[in-house]
Amino acid sequence: MTGGALQAWEAVVGNHLQGRIASYSTAAPRLDHVGHWFQRRLVKPSVKGLTQFVHRTLGSSYMLMIQTPVLPELTWRLGLGRLWPHLVAKLEGTPININPQLMQDAQYGLGLYRANLLKPLFNPTTRTTNLPVQLLIMTQDSRLLCPADHV
């Protein structure tokens, strides 16, 4: 889930840009959707639901690590920042242009995650929009936060 998707969802469900957006397509659910998904697995626990909960929690553990002070910045400065473009290129199977602003962008991205992640996961709200929304679901992506059959 990128910072861009977080911001775009807020524009879609908020009133401040009403009439300026015709529709929205995304590959990422709103964090509130994800929070509800997690809660549904805990409210009426089942073996399948708890297994899904644990699997997604472990798969998304990097998001919680990002919430810790200093550690992500230190990790980034000690080498992850230099390795990141090469790691992404290998994982995605495509060359990545190295952005000279990468360190600054990473710091800003950490700030977005820290400011916006936990509240909707632990206390999700229900907001709606009148816009047509197309949620693209990647059924073959093992990194999915919400499995396609349970969004």
Q: CA dihedral in degrees (75, 78, 79, 80; nearest 10)?
A: 10
Q: Provide the residue type at 89 as one letter.
A: A
pLDDT-based confidence at residue 113 (cuts at 50, 70, 90): confident
Tokens encoding 71: 């550690």
How high is the pLDDT of residue 150? 47
How high is the pLDDT of residue 149? 46
The reported pTM is 0.70
- For 104-119, b/e burial (b = at least 16 CB within 10 A) is eebeeebeebeebbee
Percent of all residues in the chain with a pLDDT value above 70, rounded to a whole number: 91
Residue 94 has pLDDT above 60, yes or no: yes
Average of per-residue pLDDT values in the chain = 83
pLDDT digits 0-9 by tens, 40-73:
999 989 999 999 889 888 888 888 888 888 888 8
How high is the pLDDT of residue 143? 54
Name the residue ranges covered by the structural domains of the chain.
3-142
pLDDT-based confidence at residue 25 (cuts at 50, 70, 90): very high
